[in-house]
Homo-oligomer: A and B are copies of this chain.
Amino acid sequence: MDTFERLESEVRSYCRCFPVIFDTAQGCYLTDTDGNRYLDFFSGAGALNYGHNNEQMKARLLEYILRDGITHGLDMATVAKKRFLDKFNDVILKPRNLPYKVQFPGPTGTNAVESALKLARNITGRHNVLSFTNAFHGMTLGSLSVSGNFMKREAAGLVLTHSIRMPYCKYLGKDAETIEYIDRFLRDNGSGVDLPAAIIVETIQAEGGVNVASVEWLQDLEQICRQHELLLILDDIQAGCGRTGPFFSFEKAGIYPDMVCLAKSISGYGLPMALTLIKPELDQWKPGEHNGTFRGNNHAFITATEALNYWETDELSSETQRKGEKIVRSLHRLRKQHPESIREIRGRGLMQAIQFTEEDMAQTASQEAFRRGLLIETSGASGSVLKLLPPLTVSDEELDEGLQIIWEATAEILSRKVSLAAH
């Protein structure tokens, strides 16, 4: 690890939690330079929904490289891009009756968010964007302004403006109204809250602590947008691409957001790629108003097209729900064993979380799990949430193995705690 300490910036973080050098990976497993295998319940922070080095995608990618398929295409028309667009339309958009136009905004999630924010401001002529407590939308200045995490906001080195912060679903308590609250501010000519261009929202705040918005809340939020003529931007970067079951996380709510941001697992293979989906009537971009050198990452288009095969049937979606419920059952049992240390189990599909009662517990559990061969991360500003994010292609055996380690790690850290308290 000396190379990293000497040469890489202090900003690096995950390599400090998982201090080994990874070499190869396949499916749900990573292997380090010493040959140790690690079960992956982290999945590249949601970028590896189909596992590592998925065989079908790999085959297509190798073929493409071997035949000198164009690699870097800016926003020029290529065969690989055309195939992706057609198939994305046929397999995802058309069947869901979501006639979005597709923008390739640069291959990272924050690019997708930045272009959605720009377009919303341009169309409405308004400058502020309403965002939520504990939101996470990215690290470039525009996305950071609508994100909630204090440590990351402070790192901007300047005051983040043009964002109106409102409480997310259940932020003020399980039964506390938040939609009416927002509506009150927007209706009142004296509230001092200027009408925003848009509302940007995640259906599940993955980085913010796995906070799950209810279906009704999302529907009410869409209503608010319609009543006040705000655009609704849905950031489905981590919760989309099947993570919660359906391809889009908002399908269950039956809403039709004005824009949708996708990234992470859209390429399927972990290659950089992002999309901004835009209602056709809102596609008011002028040519070249937003660009970026790597928005035509054709390797990613190849694997992304292959990944869409998973969505030609309902199988992946229903399996994700089934496995998600399996996790929930297991974690609820775990909670019953440690009622004083586990406050809540929450999530949807294959994004599930354990909310511990104390700040350091999730972090300690993650370390303990890693020692036992499981990669798993925490979430939320206080670090008390352990987030389960296995590949959607995880087998039942792998799931059981991972849950077993989580049980053991939890037992270990809580017993340690008890023994500490006993002294």
Contact = CB atoms under 8 A, between A and B. Distances in A.
A292 interface: yes
Interface in A257-288: 263-264, 269-272, 276, 278, 283-288
Contact of A70 (B23, B58, B149): B23
Nearest to A109: B293
A88 to B, nearest CB: 8
A190 interface: yes
Interface string A148-168: 111111111111111111000
Nearest to A264: B293
Interface stretch (A72-80, A308-316, A332-340, A392-400): A72-80
Interface in A70-112: 70-79, 81-82, 85-86, 88-89, 101-104, 106-111
B11 A108 contact: no
A158 B124 CA distance: 11
Nearest to A276: B9
Contacts of A48: 72
Given A158-B127, A271-B297, A287-B10, A192 B133 contact: yes
Contacts of A270: 71-72
Contacts of A193: 133, 165
A105 to B, nearest CB: 8
A9 B119 CA distance: 12
A10 B159 contact: no
Contacts of A272: 107-108, 272, 294, 297
Contacts of A123: 157
A216 interface: no
Interface of A: 1, 3-4, 7-16, 18-26, 30, 33, 44-48, 52-53, 58, 61-62, 65-79, 81-82, 85-86, 88-89, 101-104, 106-111, 114-115, 117-123, 125, 127-128, 131-135, 138-143, 145-165, 171-172, 181, 184-185, 188-194, 197, 208-209, 263-264, 269-272, 276, 278, 283-294, 297, 299, 380-382
14 contacts: A10-B101, A12-B75, A21-B77, A23-B70, A23-B79, A26-B68, A45-B293, A47-B72, A114-B141, A122-B157, A131-B192, A151-B288, A158-B159, A188-B381
